[in-house]
Amino acid sequence: MKAWEMNVRRTVPYVPGEQPQAVNLVKLNTNENPYPPAPGVAKVLRETDADLLRRYPDPAAGALVRAIADFHGVAPEQVFVGVGSDDVLGMAFLTFFAGEKPILFPDITYSFYDVWADLFRIPYRRPALDENFRLRPEDYLQENGGIVIANPNAPTSIAEPLEVIERIAAGNPGSVVIVDEAYVDFGGQTALPLTAKYDNVLVVRTFSKSRSLAGLRIGYAIGCEALIRALQDIKYSYNSYTMNAVTIAAGCASVEDRAYFEETLAKVVATRETAEKKLRELGFTFPESSTNFLFATHETVPADYIFAELRRRQIYVRYFPKPRIDRFLRITVGTPEEMDRLCEALGEIISAYRPG
């Protein structure tokens, strides 16, 4: 071992979904939106003068914060923005989970939570979801140093009703409860109203899925002013200029086009419903999805086999070789044409499968 290696912070990193670069592939593995961003975004990218980049951006990203605040009908002081919701979530872990008691999040959920907890040396406990992958709210009424709930959850696609989140928020006045709503626009009930009623609720959202802007990197949090100030103190102690000038302008253009946003969502939801029918006919089952993906298992054909066969055909879905979920595939809802190609391939794979 080299001498300096004694001082290295070691961690097991999060593994992002593959980003294959081939052209004719069907990419249903990282829950991206199949439709382009709002037309105003392209206009900003076309018309932005490069001279804008000579100066530092607004460290508070004020224009974007105001646009998001207006969209949700909250005060700008209740909005925090970051480089994707991963940045916002990481910052929230660093800010709110500085105590000694373990934080709580489910055994099956977004696989970045334990990575941040390990990185920041935050102790944690992972109560098991029930046999139908539902949250047991009573598990979150034990002593804790904070709570993180993805709702709808990933990779299960299941949304818990608002009462469940409220019970957890009300039962934990001494802990910050982070509600990760990356997928809520596709079907779940938002916890945003709880941020007016409880000073310990922080709702985290992203532009990556419902706004088709995974490549731009915008996430945000909404909570009471004191929570937002606490987040800003940590952000300004680490990196003041997280949001670049082009992102701020393009993000505003996205938020301003509510009609396009709603139209795109409706298309994804309609395609999800059609895909559900076809997958059921092929022998798949899955929980009711409130997201832009399906968490599907086949009655006879193993998930890892289907995953590999799809990949051979240039169709990418996500497979997690982990306890309790290794019989499932997480399939992003693409365009109707992509879903047709997927279902056609699945039909072939399933009929050709011979066990053993």
Q: What residues line the site for ligand PMP (CB under 6 A)?
A: 84-86, 110, 150, 154, 180, 182, 206, 208, 214, 219
Give whichever of 33 and 195 is closer to ligand PMP, judged by the CB atom: 33
Q: In what order do the strands lie in the sheet with 219-222?
A: 79-82, 219-222, 201-206, 177-180, 147-150, 103-104, 124-125
Q: Token pair of 4, please?
A: 């300096």
Q: In whole angstroms, how close is the CB of 184 to ligand PMP at the nearest point?
A: 10
CA–CA gap between residue 258 and residue 306 (Å, rounded)? 38
**Structural contact between residues 232 and 82, judged by C-beta atoms closer than 8 angstroms:** no
**Structural contact between residues 26 and 344, judged by C-beta atoms closer than 8 angstroms:** no
Q: In whole angstroms, how close is the CB of 310 to ligand PMP at the nearest point?
A: 20
Give whichever of 217 and 298 is closer to ligand PMP, judged by the CB atom: 217
Q: Are strands 79-82 and 293-298 parallel, antiparallel or unpaired?
A: unpaired
Give whichever of 180 and 309 is closer to ligand PMP, judged by the CB atom: 180
Rg of the Cα atoms in the chain: 21
Give whichever of 161 and 215 is closer to ligand PMP, judged by the CB atom: 215
Give whichever of 84 and 223 is closer to ligand PMP, judged by the CB atom: 84
Q: In whole angstroms, how close is the CB of 352 to ligand PMP at the nearest point?
A: 32
Q: Which residue is nearest to ligand PMP (CB)?
A: 84
Q: In whole angstroms, how close is the CB of 92 to ligand PMP at the nearest point?
A: 11
Residue showing tokens 């951006």: 57
Please, which residues have CB within 8 angstroms of residue 200's CB and are 6 or more apart in sequence?
169, 172, 173, 174, 175, 176, 177, 227
Q: In whole angstroms, how close is the CB of 229 to ligand PMP at the nearest point?
A: 22
